[in-house]
Chains A and B, each alone.
Chain A
Amino acid sequence: MEPVNKPFRTGPLTVNTIMLLVIAALVPGTVIHIYLTGWGGLANLLVAAAAAMLFEYIVCVLRNKPVRETMGDHSALLTGLLIGLCLPPLVNLWIPIIAAAIAILLAKHIYGGLGNNIFNPAMVGYAAVLVSFPRDLSLWPTLPQSFDFGIIQTINIIANGGLVEYTHWDSLTGATTLDTARTSTGTAGQHITIGLERWTNIAFLCGGAVLLRLRLINWHIPVSLLATLSLCALIEQAINPNAAGLSVHLLAGATMLGAFFIATDPVSAAAGNTGRLIYGAGIGLLIWLIRTFGGYPDAVAFAVLLMNCTVPVLDYLEPWRWRK
């Protein structure tokens, strides 16, 4: 007769339910994303998610972990989906696979698996392919691309190297809102309109609100992130009226996805409330800095990864003592 060393209670939530709820909250944004990006976007999601789960399975077997329980937490699925949501449609088939491999193998399991990773796995995978294949990843077809290409054609394109290989279709691609914002800064009189991606962002915002309502994420990170980003954008606009305005920063690119689904990944975010506020503010500031002065059109991945580095310090300083 042994005293139990394992927990015997089942709390109201398990990791598995949390992940499933987060995935469910992603659904509306994802649907709009697919509507905008067509078969190409759907292919990204499917390939990335399948690859992530496959790699997770392989690692489970290699690490002698119970496959059903480890896979059952659905975190690999979520990582794959986040990668898929970041990639432009019609990229080379291998890009999502490589991103998923880096995310699951390097960013997650090398550190010891879910709970021990320092960096957000999805963002590590995305950032790795972003710096490795800059041309592929900067080619966004004009949205909505919807389902202009049929399934067969899409498969053909992605299996043969993606849109980059089809230079004669250059006319199809267009500058994303953030691209326009970046290149247009300083050109007087040019008005930047936000593309249809605003609907994706709004959908992610709604999904995030649901997560907040269910108390699956804390308000600190998204609120401080969005507040800092807005503040920076407003100051910038006050100085230079032609700069990308508040709405561009908030509703273009991956802002909302980042604020509610990526920055709030609890494993790689700060744990205390003060730490969370600083962490969110740091990401907001970095997004604005990289978008405004950096060489990449979108900045969420790098901002999140950079702030991930600060988490050990933020946690170490917890509990914060403002006054001695």
Chain B
Amino acid sequence: MNTRATKSIRSYQARVDRALRPATPITTRELPPTLQYRIAPGSRHNIVVNTDEHVHTGQTLVAAIADGPASIHAGSSGTITCKQTDSEGHTTIEIATDGYDSRRFKQAIGDKFRSMSSVQLQQLFHHNGLVGLGGACFPVAGKIAALESKPASVLLVNAVECDPAILCDRALLLEQASAAIRGIGIAAHACNAQKVIIAIKNDEPAIHTAVQNALEKNPVENSSICKVAADYPVGYERYLFASASEIPVPENTHPTALGLISFNVATCIAIAQLIDRGEPLFSRVTTVHKPTTGAIQNLHIRFGTPLNHLVQGSDTTLQSVAYSGLITENLPSRRTATISPASNCVILNPEATTQNDCIRCGLCADVCPASLQPQQLLTHSEPLDAKQLARHQLDRCIECGCCDTVCPSGIPLTRTFQQAMQAIHQQTLQIQAAERAKQRFAARQNRLERQSAESQAKLARKQAALTQRTKQSTPSADPRKQLLESALRRRSKKPKTDNTPPPP
């Protein structure tokens, strides 16, 4: 990352940090009247509840699929309504909460986890809805499975929340450091980690103390704390591996291929809760900003809570929402109307600024950690020019949002790139589908030709056999044939009428 970028973003970060730094404790909100889970279309879901069924908190709503999505669990006790597909083919499961929040968890495993194998633990994680809570929501079991049962050389615990507006991991570390350490120990066991690195920001002494104290009480083997410079986007997995474990991860290589695995602290806490309390994952801590009132809260919220619910009580209504921190932004597909595992931060009713045309100042190129030319990418994104975008290496964009942050014209560059990437992905899929169709057609054509050739050959063989047989037998041998031949002869002797066509 170039130094100018670091400086520029750092000064911005410092400004924002000063405003947000006051510690924000985790608070819980009362349950909303309904929880909604929107299940994407496709056969890779297995909904196991029916309308009007009563569920308990933590009960499985959608079962996990091996090598697929993890399970989804009820965030509250209540009555189910399954709404069938909407325009995009999603199914919505709604829970009308009954207000009792009656929990029925499976039995806690506790320290017995040490005798469980990695595969058993993966199963357990997968069927209890554990997904990464850092924003990418990748199933935990899938991530461990990607190690292909080799021991992980490094387990990196990502406690570096580099976006200045996202404060949930920070609050979790300050308040639940021991649970985090417990979870880290379990995760290390699950991936047979040889080394555990807990990466924290170097400008947060309080967090350092909290983590260190928790580690002393409950030591994790081969673990160390690594302080990294708090420059955005250091929390980006690839960069964090480079700065905390000094193992560079080449582009196009997934860290797990090198035996590197990383978990967010919130994920580790979820693991600890599952093992020690039997609690599946159905809630998370989300940083909620309300710029209209200036409020910043770290709320412990159940997944499926409608965002509307978060503004209730205040006199405003929810008109707009930004699914992001101040610099990062969630993928378009993760911008849901409810809290999801990806919602690490939401900004409710953000103040929109005006957007102008690009003045090509180049500030965005200066801060891009991937050394791209965002303004050129922008030119080629609208209208979409996939060839030029590939030339400018759009695929290397990590969607960090640094370029947006410095753009004096207020252009949402990252979002434009995300859309462009999506569009290109669609195009590639279409091309692939067309290619497959073409291949199928060619194969069918081939098969038909082959079949007709075969049948012709068969026919020819039969005919040949027939002629052979005819030749072998004398013409007079078959009385029916004689009759036929004589009839034909008689007919040809008949005088021709005028309108009969001449014989060919």
Interface residues of A (CB under 8 A from B): 1-15, 17-18, 66, 69, 73, 112-116, 215, 218, 266-267, 269, 271-272, 315, 318-319
Task: Knowing A1-B319, A7-B412 are in contact, say whether A12-B11 is a contact too (CB < 8 A).
Answer: yes
The answer on a CB contact under 8 Å between A115 and B356 is yes
The answer on a CB contact under 8 Å between B335 and A3 is yes
Interface 9-mer from B135-143, B269-277, B357-365, B461-469: B357-365
Residues of A contacting B409 with CB < 8 Å? 14-15, 115
Interface 9-mer from B25-33, B95-103, B344-352: B344-352
Residues of A contacting B404 with CB < 8 Å? 7, 9, 11
Interface residues of B in 222-276 (CB under 8 A from A): none
Task: Knowing A7-B411, A11-B12 are in contact, say whether A266-B359 is a contact too (CB < 8 A).
Answer: yes
Mark contacts of B1-38 with chain A using CB atoms, 8 A cut-off: 1 yes-contact digit, 0 otherwise: 00010001001100100000000000000000000000
- Is B321 at the interface (CB under 8 A from chain A)? yes
Contact of A1 among B321, B327, B359 (CB under 8 A): B321
Residues of B contacting A9 with CB < 8 Å? 326-327, 353, 404-405, 410
**Given contacts A12-B15, A318-B373, A318-B392, could you give 20 more A-B pairs where the C-beta distance is less than 8 Å?**
A1-B319, A3-B321, A4-B320, A6-B354, A8-B322, A8-B347, A9-B404, A11-B407, A11-B410, A12-B12, A13-B406, A14-B408, A14-B409, A66-B354, A114-B356, A114-B357, A115-B360, A215-B4, A215-B8, A271-B376
The answer on a CB contact under 8 Å between A1 and B373 is no
Number of A-B contacts (CB under 8 A): 121
Residues of B contacting A315 with CB < 8 Å? 376, 379
A interface SS class: loop
A66 to B353, CA, bound (A): 13
A271 to B408, CA, bound (A): 15
- The 4 A-B pairs of least Cβ separation, nearest first, read A115-B357, A6-B352, A8-B350, A7-B410
Q: Among the interface residues B354, B357, B361, which one has the most CB atoms of the partner chain A within 10 A?
A: B361
- Is B375 at the interface (CB under 8 A from chain A)? yes
A318 to B292, CA, bound (A): 43
Q: How many residues from B make CB contacts under 8 Å with A?
A: 51
Residues of B contacting A69 with CB < 8 Å? 354, 356
The answer on a CB contact under 8 Å between A319 and B408 is no
Residues of A contacting B357 with CB < 8 Å? 112-116
The answer on a CB contact under 8 Å between A1 and B337 is yes
Interface residues of B in 293-334 (CB under 8 A from A): 307-308, 318-323, 326-327
Residues of B contacting A271 with CB < 8 Å? 360, 362, 365, 373, 375-376
Residues of A contacting B8 with CB < 8 Å? 12, 215
28 A-B pairs, CB-CB below 8 angstroms? A1-B337, A2-B319, A3-B335, A5-B412, A6-B353, A7-B412, A8-B350, A9-B405, A9-B410, A11-B404, A12-B8, A14-B408, A14-B409, A14-B410, A15-B408, A17-B408, A18-B361, A69-B354, A114-B356, A115-B359, A115-B360, A115-B409, A116-B357, A218-B362, A266-B362, A269-B360, A271-B362, A271-B365
Rounded to whole Å, the gap between the CB of B378 and the closest CB of chain A is 10
Rounded to whole Å, the gap between the CB of A181 and the closest CB of chain B is 35
The answer on a CB contact under 8 Å between A114 and B359 is yes
The answer on a CB contact under 8 Å between B12 and A8 is no
Interface residues of B (CB under 8 A from A): 4, 8, 11-12, 15, 291, 307-308, 318-323, 326-327, 335, 337, 347, 350-363, 365-366, 373, 375-376, 379, 391-393, 404-412
Residues of B contacting A4 with CB < 8 Å? 320-322, 350, 352
Residues of B contacting A11 with CB < 8 Å? 12, 404-408, 410
The answer on a CB contact under 8 Å between A7 and B353 is yes
The answer on a CB contact under 8 Å between B391 and A319 is yes
The answer on a CB contact under 8 Å between A10 and B356 is no
Contact of B366 among A5, A15, A66, A215 (CB under 8 A): A215
CB closest residue in chain B, given A113: B357
A15 to B248, CA, bound (A): 37
Residues of B contacting A1 with CB < 8 Å? 307-308, 318-321, 337
Rounded to whole Å, the gap between the CB of A209 and the closest CB of chain B is 17
A168 to B4, CA, bound (A): 58
The answer on a CB contact under 8 Å between A266 and B361 is yes
A315 to B393, CA, bound (A): 15
CB closest residue in chain A, given B165: A9
Residues of A contacting B347 with CB < 8 Å? 8
The answer on a CB contact under 8 Å between B319 and A272 is no
Rounded to whole Å, the gap between the CB of B32 and the closest CB of chain A is 14
A44 to B356, CA, bound (A): 30
A266 to B12, CA, bound (A): 23
A1 to B351, CA, bound (A): 14
CB closest residue in chain A, given B322: A4
CB closest residue in chain B, given A315: B376
Rounded to whole Å, the gap between the CB of A72 and the closest CB of chain B is 9
The answer on a CB contact under 8 Å between B375 and A15 is no
The answer on a CB contact under 8 Å between A3 and B320 is yes
A3 to B351, CA, bound (A): 12
Task: Knowing A1-B321, A2-B320, A3-B322 are in contact, say whether A15-B376 is a contact too (CB < 8 A).
Answer: no
The answer on a CB contact under 8 Å between B376 and A318 is yes
Rounded to whole Å, the gap between the CB of B203 and the closest CB of chain A is 20
CB closest residue in chain A, given B351: A8
Rounded to whole Å, the gap between the CB of B338 and the closest CB of chain A is 11
A25 to B419, CA, bound (A): 39
Rounded to whole Å, the gap between the CB of B233 and the closest CB of chain A is 15
Residues of A contacting B391 with CB < 8 Å? 319
Rounded to whole Å, the gap between the CB of A76 and the closest CB of chain B is 14
The answer on a CB contact under 8 Å between B321 and A8 is no
Residues of A contacting B376 with CB < 8 Å? 271-272, 315, 318
Residues of B contacting A218 with CB < 8 Å? 362
Contact of B323 among A3, A5, A15 (CB under 8 A): A3
